[in-house]
Chains A and B, each alone.
Chain A
Amino acid sequence: MSITDFLTDLLNPDLAFLPKALAIAVMSSIVCGVVGCYVVLRGMAFIGDAVAHAVFPGIAVAFVLQGSLVLGGAVAGVATALLIAIFSQNRRVKEDSLIGVFLVATFALGIVIISQAPGYAGSLQQFLFGSITGIPDRDLYLVAGAGLLILGLVLALHKEFVAVCLDREMSRSMGLPVFWLDIALYVLVTLAVVISLQTIGNILVLALLITPAAAARLLTDRLGVMMLLAPVIGGASAVVGLYLSWSYDTPVGGTIVLVATAVFLTAWLLAPRHGLLVRRWRRPGGQEPTDDPQPEQRSNPARVGPSPTVG
């Protein structure tokens, strides 16, 4: 299918679900791209995974009760994020084990709940792998509103998130509320996940959070640039992914994720400073270019000779 055909379909009133799906996919990819930068830089991908799974029972309950899936998922996800944050204050059980416990437990709960609803197999598939049909108009506004709220909070708390990311101990000594900032970040991750569920699906949503941000990290050493690049990569992957999915009749969530992954792999190979090929080409030995620069200084002839500091 050509791009023109795709545009025609987008404008076709009989296919009104298509532009709606595109709007939601792009909005959620942008939000996930921004929030994903913190997730990638703090190495909390596993928490993102846990929250994504935790959202499931909430959706199941909402589905059984015929309520808003986005709202149901958000409540369950935030509750789990809070549980992880609170339980992780106890150092006896490490955070990753805890997440492992909650991750599977909540998903199991979701499966049990949704099995109570008649005709659940079809809707189960929709939750797990995403779908572009059947998105209510209400969700469109909900996603837009939640997206703006998330981006607003990121803007407001960015300085504090960075400080905590850099150095927790120092942040505590500066009097920053580190625990509450962690919770705020978990909640933001949860909301980003929830608004992406509709099109991407529960299983693949983690990719939307991690892959664009990880690709952006490969392309730059500047946080500001990274936080612009990641949503651009995510949004573009959503557009291209939806186009390919519509053209070749492939599942939309999977296609978007594969497009984002292709971007990541390209960045991994070709990134200007950290790319594999560029590094190979620049240094035949394949060494890290960022090794300690001091040995060069010390090999300066002026400093050779018996050092006054020894002995």
Chain B
Amino acid sequence: MRALEIEQLDVDLGGRPVLRDVRLHLDRGELVGLLGPNGAGKTTLLRAVLALIRIRGGRVLVEGKPARPGRSGIGYVPQRHEFNWDFPISVEHVVMSGRTGRMGMLRRPGVDDWRAVGDALDRVQLTGLRRRPVGELSGGQRQRVLVARALALGPSILLLDEPFTGLDMPTQELLGELFTSLAREGRAVLMTTHDLVAAVDSCTRLVLLNRRIIADGRPSDLQDAELWTETFGVSATSPLLKLVRAA
């Protein structure tokens, strides 16, 4: 069974078509980069997988079952600016907040919950900072907190929305290594990104999206310049294409 199956997905937002006939499959162990310009529907696709928006047609299967909020084994890592970093809370409690839905109303964290939080913090190497207020963390550390929060549910699928945005090269590299190893441990990882270099470098597969899937393959298979010009709407002389060829 595939970790994630998206079949003939159509999504409208505000009456306008955003995604058309999207077909995408993910297996455990894959790290797939979802590339496309602004407004291509990358985040919308993630939200459709999370069942946060109504889909017009097609279906999304997570581990063979239709996606439902709170029921699917999906770990979601939203863009960093979605999170309220001014909140007076420590790293470990943020990670614990990822289990709020699982714990249920009126329940307090138990031994299992704390164990899951400890494991997630270990996995992203933040154990030493577990009591630090999140407002004092750097960009890269913040991104790792959000990844740990998603991991606290023990998901088989990870969805990462623009994890590299606003981070410097060394930090991107460390995160890329983390995502690669998270995938190798048997998770299906899907990440949207603007960052071509980081994506080509770390992803096992790239998906070019602009309202529909334009290409889907290993980075080395996507040498055809036309695919990139079509996805990003750039001219044939764009520096983007030089980057693609170099990578």
Contact = CB atoms under 8 A, between A and B. Distances in A.
A binds B: yes
Interface of A: 41-42, 156-157, 159-160, 162-163, 165-176, 217, 220-223, 226, 290, 292-294, 298, 303, 307, 309-310
A159 to B, nearest CB: 5
Contacts of B89: 162, 166, 222-223
B98 interface: yes
A175 B97 contact: no
A160 B135 contact: no
Nearest to B96: A159
Given A169-B78, A294-B140, A307-B169, A221 B88 contact: yes
B52 A173 contact: yes
Given A176-B101, A307-B169, A166 B83 contact: yes
Contacts of B98: 170, 174
B182 to A, nearest CB: 18
13 contacts: A41-B86, A167-B82, A167-B97, A169-B52, A170-B78, A172-B52, A172-B69, A174-B100, A175-B68, A175-B101, A221-B133, A294-B168, A309-B170
A217 B107 CA distance: 26
Nearest to B74: A173
A157 B108 CA distance: 11
B163 to A, nearest CB: 14
Contacts of A157: 105
Nearest to A176: B101
B70 interface: yes
Across the A-B interface, the 10 shortest Cβ-Cβ residue pairs: A175-B70, A174-B101, A221-B133, A163-B100, A175-B69, A294-B138, A173-B50, A309-B169, A292-B138, A221-B88
Nearest to B97: A163
- Interface centre among A162, A226, A293, by most chain B C-beta atoms within 10 angstroms, is A162
Contacts of A292: 138-139
Contacts of A217: 88
Contact of A171 (B100, B138, B171): B100
A172 B52 CA distance: 7
B87 A165 contact: yes
Interface string B64-86: 00001111001010100011101
B90 interface: yes
Given A292-B138, A309-B169, 19 more contacts: A159-B108, A166-B87, A166-B89, A167-B82, A169-B52, A169-B76, A170-B76, A170-B82, A170-B83, A170-B98, A172-B52, A174-B70, A175-B68, A175-B70, A222-B133, A223-B89, A294-B139, A309-B173, A310-B169
